[in-house]
Amino acid sequence: MNQDRLRFDLADLAEEVAPVDLRDRALRTSRRLGIQRAVATSAAALVVLAAATGTALAIRPNSQAPAPAGPSVTVTAPPAEPSRTPSAEPSSTPSNKPDDTVTGGSSADVTFGRMVYVPSEVPNGASSASTVRLQSWRPGDDPVRLLSVPVQAALLNVVASPDGKRAAWVDDTGAVWVSALDGSGPRKLRDGVDDMCWSPVWLPNSQQLVVRLTGAGGNRDTGVLDASSGKFTKVTSFDGCHAVFAANGTLAFADGSDGTIVLTDRNGKARRTIPDLGTKGSRYVTFDLSSLSPDGRRIALFRIDRSGTYGDAARGLLVNAVLDTRTGKEVALPLDGRQLSQVFFQPDGSMVVRVRSGGGYAVILVDAAGNKIAEQVEPSSLRNMQIVSALG
């Protein structure tokens, strides 16, 4: 056995037995391994195909900085990632239905904003050095290609700033980067940052990020990182995973130890949890949340039956419920019997609700009162992608 490989594996094992959120970290590791294996399998298949056809494949050398430009990668949907629930997985069947808009409400001031999309699966042919291109789309316009980021970062942690000007992500070395959404001006802010559990979270001001360190000696401090200077300020009481901010400064994150959702402010004060979720006697737990309303009163998340299979606790963008954060009650959505896939709140409190539609997806615009305002079928080119931000 290769001694270096054994030493690395033992080091990884030693890290995973730290007495902090053991179940959560084990589950997150399964997701990381699933992505890495999918990348390895995809790359191996590509090598076999090249050998069979006599084609020489040029593999892009690895580098720290992501490529700001280049051809987009066609994303397909191999069964590579651990499943959450079979009914919630995105479809890879092409849609031949033309794009159209159906009005359904009277709030003239509520409109679709711009949505940012990332791949939903590891692309075929991806290697550890592969990059994938994000896209944005506003209903009524054509999709726009954005920056390229490493494939693992695209799946696990990249996020757009609330003002729609920048993106932040952590590469597989633990370096956190920021750039303009078009990929220009990439800058590394610092090393030693968590890329899995607490991925970068933009504050509402779009000038700062909340990150978690993974430095030497088990330093797992969480705090605020200035996106211009790179200065880090520790904030206590930020734990759990997958935080999201509301415009009013409310922060929500998943407690990986018991499946509750904690809400607090940017200073970690005034903590509370959502009733009947993760607490003793409750039916559901959750480890994935994707969006919080501007006033912090509603949250979009993926709810799991306590007696069911938990899957993994790395970032997941699928949603199967919107809850009132004060009462824990589910918010009704105008789905017309279709399967819910994702929900993102816009700055005005309206929701972009993504549902299955034929072989692809449609997005429904829902105002803050729960009324359907409009609906539009997504372009078929986005069927193997998922929304990561709704910018308004």
Least confident of 66-70, 162-166, 236-240, 293-297: 66-70
Handedness of CA 250, 20, 209, 122 (dihedral sign): negative
Nearest to 246 by CA among 213, 205, 195: 205
Identify the pLDDT of residue 8: 43
3 state DSSP class of 388: strand
For the cut 90, the answer to whether the pLDDT of residue 4 exceeds it is no
Identify the pLDDT of residue 257: 80
For the cut 90, the answer to whether the pLDDT of residue 248 exceeds it is yes
For the cut 50, the answer to whether the pLDDT of residue 36 exceeds it is yes
d(C-alpha 345, C-alpha 365), whole Å: 10
Identify the pLDDT of residue 123: 79
pLDDT in tens, 268-295: 888 999 999 998 889 999 999 999 999 9
For the cut 90, the answer to whether the pLDDT of residue 91 exceeds it is no
For the cut 50, the answer to whether the pLDDT of residue 76 exceeds it is no
Confidence of residue 308 (pLDDT cuts 50, 70, 90): confident
Residue scoring higher pLDDT (291 or 40) = 291
Least confident of 99-103, 124-128, 290-294: 99-103
d(C-alpha 89, C-alpha 320), whole Å: 11
Q: At what angle do helices 3-16 and 22-53 cross, to 10 degrees?
A: 150
Distances (CA, A) of 216 to 15, 172, 233, 249: 11, 17, 17, 31
Identify the pLDDT of residue 37: 52
pLDDT in tens, 147-172: 999 999 999 999 999 999 999 999 99
The average confidence (pLDDT) of the chain is: 78
Domain boundaries, given as residue ranges, for the chain: 3-60+90-390
pLDDT in tens, 181-218: 999 999 999 999 999 888 899 999 999 999 999 876 66
For the cut 90, the answer to whether the pLDDT of residue 309 exceeds it is no
d(C-alpha 192, C-alpha 152), whole Å: 16
Section 221-237 average pLDDT: 92
Least confident of 44-48, 88-92, 184-188, 217-221: 88-92
Distances (CA, A) of 56 to 49, 169, 250: 10, 32, 53
Least confident of 27-36, 69-78, 250-259: 69-78
d(C-alpha 345, C-alpha 138), whole Å: 15
Q: Could you tell me the fold of the domain covering 3-60+90-390?
A: Neuraminidase (2.120.10)
Identify the pLDDT of residue 236: 83
Section 349-369 average pLDDT: 96
Q: pTM of the predicted model, to two decimals?
A: 0.76
Confidence of residue 47 (pLDDT cuts 50, 70, 90): very low
Confidence of residue 107 (pLDDT cuts 50, 70, 90): low
Identify the pLDDT of residue 128: 72
For the cut 60, the answer to whether the pLDDT of residue 29 exceeds it is no
pLDDT in tens, 323-354: 999 999 999 999 999 999 999 999 999 999 99
For the cut 60, the answer to whether the pLDDT of residue 59 exceeds it is no
Q: Are 69 and 183 in contact (CB under 8 A)?
A: yes
Confidence of residue 255 (pLDDT cuts 50, 70, 90): confident
Identify the pLDDT of residue 50: 39
